[in-house]
Structure 1
Amino acid sequence: MNDRDVVRLLRKKVGADFEAVFRGDDCVALSLHDEESIFRGLIRHHSDAEKQDILKLISRLRRLEHLNLRKNSLGELPEEFQGLDSLRVLNLGSCQLRAIPEFVFRNAALESLFLGSNPIEVLDPRLMSLDKLKSLHLHKLLLKGFPDGLSRLQRLETLHLYLSGLKEFPRETFECGELSSISFGFCPLRVLPDEIGRLRQLRYFTLVVTKVKTLPDSFCDLRSLVATRLYKNRIERLPDAIGSLLNLEQIALYQNHLDTLPDSFRDLSRLRKLNLAKNRFTELPSVIRNLPALEWFAFFDNPVECAPQAFPGLETVIERPYGGSRMG
């Protein structure tokens, strides 16, 4: 049975159309995840026996490079998956996996691995041997620790760790010099390490729902930063040199403890979106009027005596977007 025959049989067993890409007669990409489907995972509600039958058929596609099984609640993968060793992109998110499947470590060329939303408590240290990885998604896990060796992943560009179970950044995070996107949060982290400033390629940074009160001065060394989400922390002040982030276009500081902004904030000449809602400002920071690129500004739920006037040409959210009276 060739790959085209296998895919035809798969379509019958899945009971729906799905993406399959061929290079010649070889199937090189397959996805059983469909955002247009009500359940997203096309075999999510098949029986366990039906799922295993379908997965065993997929294991025959030995030239697969891209495989997306997200949101199919698989529980476990068959032993036959050991034959899949040419993968470059693998998505196993929301598959009810309790450990990283053994076959993953056979894919030395893997560049993108999505393991988010699984009840995984322990990461196999062999994960750090996949040194071609550029994107690693480990969010919404139940991790009790993190293995050594993250710094071996020197090609890593994207690392998602929010709601991972971790209480602090893995210690080698800041030795991955190619990182351009990081997310972390929903944990009792109190201090953002000074080492964050080493990540000179960082463009997108998310730190949310923590106990962090200040950003280190080294945060201002992130000169490539384009957007940062820092909402629902306990940030009381921003670094004085925040204005040196000249590429910054978006910053969300919703629900922190800010009552003032540094004078250098006016130097953020590319800033387009700013969210200062639900902080402790008693008046509108004057530097806001000196941001030439600003297009959108949120300022609701601050203890100001009277609501600030809207700016001409600027979409300003000064009331709760979900309704309620103007601040006063």
Structure 2
Amino acid sequence: MAAGLNLQRTVDGLLYLNLSNQGLTSIPEEVFDITDLESINVSHNKLTSIPEAIGRLQKLSRLDAGGNKLTSLPQAIGTLPKLTHLYVYDNKLTKLPTGVCLLLNLEVLSAFNNNLSTFPPGVEKLQKLRELYVYDNQLTEVPPGVCSLPNLEVLSVGRNPIRRLPDDVTRLTRLKDLSVPNCQFDEFPRQVLQLKTLEKLYAGGNKFDIVPGEVGNLQHLLDLALEHNLLRTLPSTMSHLHNLREVLLRNNKFDTFPKVLCELPAMEKLNISNNNITRLPTALHRADKLKDLVVSGNPLTYPPQDVRTQGTDGTMAFLKQEAEKG
């Protein structure tokens, strides 16, 4: 029945079948006879469809069909009661069938890099969903219903022609990771400022020129990416972000180095390359956890170039020395 199919047990004990990278144009029929199958990986093949027979795999909890040529999903997907992880990224999907919204135990849905312009009604039924990845599609809005998902921790909707976030995104009281790069915002998405649990905010490649002062309220923020915008200044309230580790500000319009960055005690990485900054302030040495400073592509005259060629450690040591002289 399953002869020749390499069944394995995963670390967490699931009966697993790996058929990825096999050049398959269809899933072998005998796969659907393995009714105890709990996880299947058919990613990076040449599949144009998944047969309705998938519905026979009633114990399936993980399905990875990313990196294929799927244009639709079978309705039978909605009959898999134990499915917790569904990966259909990097396909040719123009819509998800409504069956996906019947997966009441679904925790992770990864559908990035497709041609989705809408979402099926009923997304709000996915009450256990923790992670939703739909970046790189044709969505003009965050799918209605997404903001009703009480357990959502990761929402990735970048590279879609979305102009603004819905006001009720503030209902996502467990959201930790919000990714909205390369959308079509013309101002900073203010709704974000009420998401007090946020740890990672990626909002590069938009068109905003001001970061509101309330950003200082995001006390749990670890990573902040605002590259490829039109920023010239940062609010002084950013000094309240005591946990901020990574700040990405490359390709903006800074003429002077934002002094508030010198007040971030946890900052380990700062990329402020490709701006118009001529001097680094000596006060930057106070960010003593900084191990990765990228300032290339600025018309810097201070510190001198021979110092900058010594990398982050050399630059920080020089700034500290200069500050002590001062």
Q: What TM-score comes out, normalization by structure 1 length?
A: 0.83
Separation in structure 2 between the aligned mates of residue 252 and residue 154 of structure 1, nearest angstrom: 29
Aligned: 1:252 with 2:225: yes
The partner residue of 1:308 within 280, 301, 315 is 280
Alignment partners' CA distance in 2, 1:195 and 1:270 = 26
For 1:241, give the aligned amino acid: E
1:284-305 superposed Cα distances (whole Å, 9 cap, x missing partner): 111111111111111111123x
Give the equivalent residue in structure 2 for 1:263: 236
* Residue 54 of structure 2 is aligned to residue 81 of structure 1: yes
Deviation per residue, 1:174-204 (Å, 9 max, x gap): 1112110011122332222222222110111
Q: Which residue of 2 aligns with 1:131?
A: 104
1:200-239 aligned within 5 A: 200-239=173-212
- 2:16 matches 1:21: no
**Distance in 1 between the 2:113 and 2:189 partners?**
27
Matched-pair contact (CA < 8 Å) for 1:222–1:245: yes
How many residues matched? 295
Q: Does the 8 Å contact 2:78/2:101 carry over to 1? A: no
1:225 touches 1:247 (CA, 8 Å); kept in 2? yes
Residues 203 and 226, structure 2, Cα contact 8 Å, conserved in 1: yes
- Equivalent residue number for residue 18 of structure 2: 31
Distance 1:87 1:243 in 2: 44
Q: Give me the whole-angstrom Cα distance separating, in 1, the residues matched to 2:131 and 2:172.
A: 12
C-alpha distance in 2, partners of 1:92/1:107? 15
- Counterpart selection for 2:130 from 152, 157, 166: 157
- Give the aligned CA root-mean-square deviation in angstroms: 2.2
Q: 1:259 to 1:96 in 2, by over 3 A?
A: same
8 A contact 2:16–2:37 mirrored in 1: yes
Q: Displaced runs of 4+ in structure 1, greater than 4 A?
A: 325-328
Q: Deviations over 1:54-88 (max 9, x none)?
A: x2122121111111111111223345434212111
Q: Structure 2: how far apart are the matches of 1:287 and 1:64? A: 54
Cα separation, partners in 2 of 1:82 and 1:191, compared to 1, 3 Å: closer
C-alpha distance after superposition, 1:296-327 (max 9, x if no partner): 111111123x142584442211014xxxx754
Comparing 310-319 with 257-266, greater Cα deviation is found at 310-319
The equivalent residue for 2:296 is 319
Cα distance in 1 for partners of 2:63, 2:56 equals 14
Gapped runs of 5+ residues in structure 1? 12-18, 34-40
> 1:255–1:278: 8 Å Cα contact kept in structure 2?
yes
CA separation of 1:27 and 1:206: change in aligned 2, threshold 3 A: closer
Q: Structure 2 regions of 5+ residues with no counterpart?
A: 302-326
Alignment of 1:45-60 (within 5 A): 48=25, 51-52=26-27, 55-60=28-33
Paired position in structure 2 for 1:14 = none
Contact 1:109/1:132, CA 8 A, preserved across alignment? yes
**In 2: Cα distance, 1:264 partner to 1:281 partner:** 18
Match of 1:182, SS state, is strand
- Give SS of 2:16's match: strand
> How far is 1:123 from its partner?
2.0
Look up the SS of the partner of 1:72 in the other structure: coil
The percentage of counterpart residues that share the same residue type is 26
- Tell me the amino acid that sits aligned with residue 148 of structure 2: E
1: CA distance, partners of 2:211 / 2:107: 31
Residues 27, 62 of structure 1: alpha-carbon distance in 2 compared, 3 angstrom cutoff: farther
Contact 1:140–1:165 (8 Å) recurs in 2: no
Match of 2:245 in 1: 272
Q: Single out whichever of 88-97 and 309-318 deviates more from structure 2.
A: 309-318
